[in-house]
Amino acid sequence: MSRLTVPKTYKLFIGGAFPRSESGRTYEVAAADGGFLANAAKASRKDARDAVVAARGAVAGWAGATAYNRGQVLYRIAELLEGRRAQFVAEIEEAEGVSRAVAGAQVDEAIDRWVWYAGWADKFAQVAGNANPVAGPYFNLSVPEPTGVVAIVAPQDSSLLGLVSAVAPALVAGNAVVVVASERFPLSAISLAEVLATSDVPKGVVNVLTGSPAEIAPWLASHADVNALDLVGAGALDWIDLEIAAADTLKRVHRPEQGADAAAPSLERIVGFTETKTVWHTKSLR
């Protein structure tokens, strides 16, 4: 008798744990050929609120860590992702219907982007900050600081690479993240959450929601404890309304991006979710 496969139900990732949706809802995730892959949790408004609470609780510790330490943690994610490369290649191959070579290239690029951003962790402040010339006996320094809690709608046409490309730059600066994964391709997002849970990323720094971005994004856009909104993957949504909702609480908003270069690695994506603190300090008269 041939062995039966064990259908899996993927859960959410909130506060370092893997809860089911509080609503109990799930949805079927289909393979590229239409076959059944797995069930994924369908996040509710309560799940989104719980994720924001977890992210808010993690901001102080993550932002307060040294830049060098944050770089070490991001590099550790790359190491663990490299160790589970075969799993991610298989998931992308089956979900997106691409060849093993194409799936492998996506995973390799995702690993490389973690490494690239890890390298910026203790360097971007020197590039984005400044010592300002002033007419007086003062030092005047501008220094980038994390915005706080960043809500992200990940690119919807990518299993893994788009998610990594959106999440990594927000983490570099010391922000905590609530990310809405691709609705069609959510499995790699939760598999990545399993990597995060076994790495050195503190609980609550990254929270992953699966389900409908059209349902979840408005709650995050209007949430008063979310400080910034990355709509990189929200091009198919009514994102203007999301931008308007975000304006009520003075959120920083990054608009949708399209095409293969969406969320491409850049210093601008790191600095885009920082605030600039300017400090005055008197010079010694001696």
Q: Are the C-beta atoms of 206 and 177 separated by less than 8 Å? A: yes
Structure-token pair, residue 44 = 């509710």
Q: Are the C-beta atoms of 14 and 54 separated by less than 8 Å? A: yes
Query: For the segment 32-91, what is each residue's pLDDT rounded down to a tens digit?
Result: 999 999 999 999 999 999 999 999 999 999 999 999 999 999 999 999 999 999 999 999
Structure-token pair, residue 79 = 């190491």
| pTM of the predicted structure, to 2 decimals | 0.93
Please state, as a whole number, how many other Cβ atoms lie within 10 Å of the Cβ of residue 202: 15
Query: For the segment 83-129, what is each residue's pLDDT rounded down to a tens digit?
Result: 999 999 999 999 999 999 999 999 999 999 999 999 999 999 999 99
Q: Are the C-beta atoms of 160 and 105 separated by less than 8 Å? A: no
Strand order in the sheet with 274-282: 130-131, 138-146, 274-282
Q: Name the phi and psi angles at 156, rounded to 5.
A: -90, -10
Q: What is the C-alpha to C-alpha distance for residues 99 and 97, in angstroms, rounded to an integer?
A: 7
**Res. 183: pLDDT tops 80:** yes
